[in-house]
Homo-oligomer: A and B are copies of this chain.
């Protein structure tokens, strides 16, 4: 059958542009025994994908020029010769950026039967939600008495991290990039929100937002945000390094913070993490998150682009601050 897919046509320099991508036709053969044909319903775009667009060794292989991109997606089984995934099964995979795909079941997960919308398994119940939970509890060892600073606080990960930390009893300071994102975060209960685009001195802004100092920094941004956090950390503070989105599109090496000696002076712990390393704990996360959702204790936002052809724009929008909460493409 004929399908559509988004291919990487060239490696971006700086912020990716539409010219780096192409909507292409492809064909799929008939399915064989043990295989399923899946039609994608939703796909995820995430900042980490920018790294895969570079040709370098990393924790995950680079995308190849002239081939379809990959990423989290929710689909529905259209044809099945695999008894584990009968027709109609909703499945989670890494086969996004295409209309349909064939799978032998490896890497497919059937969605559990819940009242939750399918696409929540790409967001609050999926990788971004699990990332927030992992960073706070498994990396930063969050305590109820902590003051927590979360950058990119209105994003898919940050907005969940903010709410988890509030439920845990913490004081939460978030940074974001626009007044309506500030309003969103305040509505989620964040104690103090910084619109960093309006601040000329982020170190001072953070000192004012958290005069008691920061115990845990959930790092999504890098650069000046990391410098401001280091300047305002309390002794024995913990920094969970989830992302550094300010660095991903840099065309020249970006100098790091000038105040790394704070690591010593304040005896800080810093740990980078990749959520996939922690996936054995997904059940624990999902049980907890499902309960919070069923109790109405947590909210989530989605920003949805319509149609596979819009996937590159959705992805590019991540670096222009166009998403509140999870950025999704509805196929």
Which residues from chain A sit less than 8 Å from chain B, CB to CB? 51, 58-59, 222, 226, 235, 241-244, 247, 253-274, 277
Give the shortest distance, in Å, between A140 (CB) and chain B (any CB).
Answer: 12
Q: Across the interface, name the chain B residue whose C-beta is closest to A48.
A: B264
Q: Is the CB of B265 within 8 A of A268?
A: no
Considering the complex of A and B, which 4 residue pairs feature the smallest CB-CB distances, nearest first? Answer: A256-B256, A255-B255, A253-B258, A263-B272
Tell whether A258 pairs with B254 under 8 Å between CB atoms, given A59-B235, A235-B59: yes
Q: Across the interface, name the chain B residue whose C-beta is closest to A230.
A: B256
Q: Across the interface, name the chain B residue whose C-beta is closest to A235.
A: B59
Q: Is the CB of A264 within 8 A of B235?
A: no
Give the shortest distance, in Å, between A175 (CB) and chain B (any CB).
Answer: 18
- Tell me the interface secondary structure of chain A in the complex: loop
Q: Which of A226, A260, A266, A273 has the most CB of B within 10 A?
A: A260
Complex Cα–Cα for A247 and B255 (A)? 15
Q: Is the CB of B58 within 8 A of A260?
A: no
Q: Is the CB of B274 within 8 A of A260?
A: no
Q: Point out the residues of chain B lying under 8 angstroms from A243, CB to CB.
A: 264
Q: Across the interface, name the chain B residue whose C-beta is closest to A268.
A: B272
Choose from B257, B265, B272 the contact partner of A266 (Cβ within 8 Å).
Answer: B272
Choose from B253, B254, B257, B267 the contact partner of A272 (Cβ within 8 Å).
Answer: B267
Give the shortest distance, in Å, between A323 (CB) and chain B (any CB).
Answer: 20
Complex Cα–Cα for A226 and B258 (A)? 13
Q: Point out the residues of chain B lying under 8 angstroms from A244, CB to CB.
A: 260-261, 264
Q: Is the CB of A269 within 8 A of B270?
A: yes
Tell whether A256 pairs with B260 under 8 Å between CB atoms, given A269-B269, A269-B270: yes
Q: Across the interface, name the chain B residue whose C-beta is closest to A56.
A: B265
Q: Is the CB of A270 within 8 A of B265?
A: no
Q: Is the CB of A258 within 8 A of B260?
A: no
Q: Is the CB of A222 within 8 A of B260?
A: yes
Q: Is the CB of B59 within 8 A of A267?
A: yes
